[in-house]
Amino acid sequence: MRNTGPSSLGEHQRTQRLLWLIRLRWIAAGCLFVVLTAARFPLGLRIPAIQLYIGNAVLLAVNLAYRMLFRRLLSRANRFIAIQINLDLALLAYLLHFSGGVENPFAVFFVFHMIIAGTLLAPRSAYLEAGAAFVLFAVLLAGERAGFLPRPLVPGFSPAAGAGTSLSYLVALLTAAAAALLGAVYLSSTIAERLRRRDRELETAILEKSRYVQQVSHDIRGSISAIQSCLRVVLDGLGGPMPDGARSMVARAERRSRSLLEFADDLLYLSLLRAGEAIGKEPASISGLFGELALGMQAEAQKRGLSLVAEDLSGGKTIAADAEAIRRALRCLLLNSLQRSPAGGTVTARAESAPKEIRIRISDTGPRLSDEELPHVFDDFYSGETGGGLGLAIAREVARLHGGLVRVENGPQRGCAFIVTLPS
């Protein structure tokens, strides 16, 4: 059986889970403070305030420590979560004891911890947590009943002395506690396991689809490549003389096959990105990439009667990136802006450095995008009035794989700007 606990997860998922647990604890600590204060003042219950506020403060302090330590302990997330849950159980027992004893309506909170354990830990570890919670509950109950852990009575809240002293009541209480703890772990871990299995199936399906697309686009690419090679030989006159009419038709076929080849290339590249096979990060200078690309695209801009202005204000900052992927993404964005702009227009590309990121803004003088178009510009095969193909989808995927994003916004009067943000 595969280990389905957090250790088998990716770093991103482990981070999310740990942060979720820490967030839950902030909420719990906040609620505890409100309840304690309400019990003390508006309700006027005589609770042992100092001990309970100390418990509250400890909860806040340990959570702060978890938050500060979590990156370092990410590689041992499974054990880190188990330790947190154990400490939470101990703190809950402490708070229950000082708020009138473990026979307390708030004892139901043990179940929350079991749900958390069932969701975040491997089933075996979660059942161990249920065992630990039960032992804690039983020991506290026995201690309070036998008198070696005298519970502070809260008048008006604690059960009256002598209530529920029969053996059958105690057996029922312990049985109910054991059933609730085990039941919570069983249900939550079963549901979590089903969801995880569904996730894995989905991931596999996406990967298979991606491989299928890779294979198809690779095969198509091979054939178009052969067609291109043959047509180039004919157009270069190496296959013998050809009448002008025939040459014009062959030239059309060659142009079409070239754009089909670019499409197959894009499709193959996008599917590789999505299968996680095309990215390898190394320090890359945005200035270098940017300058090289802006220079390389000048001919394309001139051909379309456009001016291409490149401003590099990134200050030579280096980021961990796949240089080829970034070059490809920026090329797609620049090409898109050049295609969108009518002759005589300007495309401006500006690279800027911000404290924790690098921003590349490519603005054009083409038409503004409609409200219907804006959310779909980066979709696969997006083909509105002013764009098409897979270039923008590639740009989005590359940005995402670098922990950044790409967005589009309309200019005040005309044109729009595509903005790529990459963490530095």
Is 220 a binding residue for another protein by CB under 8 A? The answer is: no
Among 59, 272, 392, 394, binds another protein (CB under 8 A): 272
Find the part of the chain contacting another protein (CB under 8 A) among 20-28, 233-241, 352-360, 367-375: 233-241
Closest CA to 347 of 339, 338, 360: 338
Find the part of the chain contacting another protein (CB under 8 A) among 18-26, 113-121, 223-231, 341-349: 223-231
Is 276 a binding residue for another protein by CB under 8 A? The answer is: no
Is 1 a binding residue for another protein by CB under 8 A? The answer is: no
* Most distant CA atoms of the chain, gap in Å: 112
Q: What is the DSSP string of 240-255?
A: ----HHHHHHHHHHHH
Nearer of residues 75 and 229 to another protein, judged by Cβ: 229
Among 68, 160, 236, 412, binds another protein (CB under 8 A): 236
- Per the CB < 8 A criterion, the answer to whether 116 and 8 are in contact is no
- Alpha carbons 181 and 185: distance in angstroms, whole number: 6
Find the part of the chain contacting another protein (CB under 8 A) among 2-10, 54-62, 235-243, 300-308: 235-243
Find the part of the chain contacting another protein (CB under 8 A) among 3-11, 97-105, 270-278, 338-346: 270-278
Is 227 a binding residue for another protein by CB under 8 A? The answer is: yes
**Which SS3 state, helix, strand or coil, does residue 236 take?**
coil
- Per the CB < 8 A criterion, the answer to whether 92 and 52 are in contact is no
Amino acid of residue 67: R
Query: Which residues on neighbouring strands pair with residue 361, listed in sequence order?
Result: 350, 419
Counting Cα atoms < 13 Å in the Cβ hemisphere of 223 gives 7
Find the part of the chain contacting another protein (CB under 8 A) among 18-26, 172-180, 263-271, 287-295: 263-271
- Quote helix, strand, coil % in the chain, to nearest 5: 65, 10, 25
Is 211 a binding residue for another protein by CB under 8 A? The answer is: yes
Is 304 a binding residue for another protein by CB under 8 A? The answer is: no
Closest CA to 407 of 355, 369, 381: 369
- Residues of this chain that interact with another protein (CB under 8 A) are 211, 214-215, 218, 221-222, 224-230, 232-233, 236, 238-239, 261, 265, 268-269, 272, 275, 277-278, 324
